[in-house]
Amino acid sequence: MSGLIALLDDVAAIAKVAASSVDDVIGQATQAGAKAAGAVIDDAAVTPKYIQGFSAARELPIVGKIALGSIRNKLLFLLPAALLLSAFAPWAISPLLMLGGAYLCFEGAEKILHLFRPHAPHANQQIDAGQSAAQLEEAKIEGAIKTDFILSAEIMTISLAALSAGSVWVQAASLALVGIGITAVVYGGVAVIVKADDVGLWMARTGRLGITRGLGRAIVRGMPPFLKILTAVGTAAMLWVGGSIIVHGLEQLGLPQVYHQFHDWAAAAAHGVGTAERSVEWAVTAGLDGLFGFTLGALLVPLGSRIIGPFWAWASAPLPSSRIDMPDWHGPTLLAARILIAALFLGGAVQKGVSPAEVMDLLAGKGLPVWLVWPALAFNALAAVGLIMGIGVRLLGFALAAYCGFTSIFHYIPEDAWQMTIFVKNWAIAGGCLALAVAGSGKIALRPDPVG
């Protein structure tokens, strides 16, 4: 009986720890999500433009595909990158956050300047008359997911900076909750926005009561100004959040003059009003941050439109088909590349199985659980088999590149030349894996990847 009571005590203690962890996750996720409000509003304001021009029957499926792409961006790419930054390079969070803030300022200022100086559509916004409806839809979805990646990176970076110190599991769960929750809010809202006029039109046509038909007509008439208001609020939020990020980042980098000046002005304004001083101080600070964000963004607009934008368009333009035709030796060469890369990871799996203590020491030295050696062994072995047999080569290429990048951290010991050689080697292997991910398996494979 005493053993059963002890077991129940242990279960109760574990339940308390789990409940505390859940509370930590929910609390941190809520705080982090609130910090990312500016980017969230902008995300909701930007997305509806990708739905324009399609039939009503395709609107919700398109929103759903973009939402799935957004979740993939956040959970598969940005969440692991954020955890790596937090664990191994926390010093980089503030500069990256400032980079995202500068982008928010640029976007907000460009929207305002566009009102006074309209410009032609960007090249990637122009419609190819030769495209079918399905091709145009896929192109629009791909463009929306690329835009979402930038906005999601801002959201996840802001959220990461807002999290308090804690275990990697709490941080991971908090960021995942933020990512999923924000995606649900944004794209749920987008779905409501894009279908609101259809609902209003249906109410206006089929409503039995005059008040129902009148409400439907009001919804139809009200959606265009509502979208304009949403865009204006999103732009203001972008400038406010972006400016605030830059001002606080400068303070952390040892340049506190702007922050202190804004604080002094806001405090003086609040004292002069005499009532609701905290609200007045917050409003003045937000206004000053927004003005600073617009000024910085206006300075960045020429750089983005005349240098970065054209360069990105040139770098991302598809090559002519004649330059990517593969010769007859394409298949055998890719098979050899797969076998050579697989041999490396298969050897790694054997090494972990023969002497796991060495890997456990590396994990413990970085504060990571030592049992991770076994999932790493299984991943090495399965990935090697998949490469050799030609199954899921593109996905394995991306996964192995990320794995090499992560494990290189264990060898970053500047005072040890041999370890630094291994560090560089890991990134070289990651480059080969990325090349394999782009090229695919070739024809000699159990499940050949599609070409093109």
Is 326 or 426 the better-scoring residue by pLDDT? Answer: 426
Kindly tell me if the per-residue pLDDT of 189 is higher than 60. Answer: yes
Kindly tell me if the per-residue pLDDT of 124 is higher than 50. Answer: no
Across the range 158-166, mean pLDDT stands at 71
pLDDT at 8: 36
Is 44 or 204 the better-scoring residue by pLDDT? Answer: 204
Kindly tell me if the per-residue pLDDT of 416 is higher than 50. Answer: yes
pLDDT at 316: 56
User: What pLDDT digit, counting tens, does each position of 45-89 carry?
Assistant: 556 666 666 677 788 888 888 889 889 888 888 888 887 777 777
Please, which pLDDT band fits residue 43 given cuts at 50, 70 and 90? low
What DSSP string describes 389-404? HTSSHHHHHHHHHHHH
**Residue percentage of the chain with pLDDT more than 70:** 79
Kindly tell me if the per-residue pLDDT of 11 is higher than 60. Answer: no
Across the range 132-150, mean pLDDT stands at 77
Quick one: tokens of 378? 């299984």
Quick one: tokens of 360? 């456990």
Kindly tell me if the per-residue pLDDT of 17 is higher than 80. Answer: no
pLDDT at 47: 62
Q: How far apart, in whole angstroms, are the C-alpha atoms of residue 11 and residue 5?
A: 10
Kindly tell me if the per-residue pLDDT of 5 is higher than 70. Answer: no
Is 21 or 334 the better-scoring residue by pLDDT? Answer: 334
The angle, 0 to 180 degrees and rounded to 10, between the axes of the packed helices 168-206 and 133-162 is 130
Across the range 202-226, mean pLDDT stands at 86
Domain residue ranges in the chain: 16-121+130-314, 328-439
Q: Assess contact for 178 and 33: CB atoms under 8 A.
A: yes
* pTM for the whole structure: 0.57
The DSSP output letter for 317 is: S
- 10 Å CB burial of residue 121 (0-12, 13-18, 19+) is exposed
Average pLDDT over the chain, rounded to an integer: 78
CA distances for 212 relative to 53, 208, 218, angstroms: 28, 7, 10
Q: How far apart, in whole angstroms, are the C-alpha atoms of residue 438 and residue 449?
A: 10
Kindly tell me if the per-residue pLDDT of 430 is higher than 50. Answer: yes
CB atoms inside a 10 Å sphere around CB 71? 17
Kindly tell me if the per-residue pLDDT of 28 is higher than 60. Answer: no
Quick one: tokens of 119? 């410009």
Q: Assess contact for 381 and 354: CB atoms under 8 A.
A: no
Please, which pLDDT band fits residue 396 given cuts at 50, 70 and 90? very high
Across the range 33-37, mean pLDDT stands at 48
Long-range contacts of 121-128 (CB under 8 A, 24+ apart): 122/309, 122/313, 123/313, 124/313
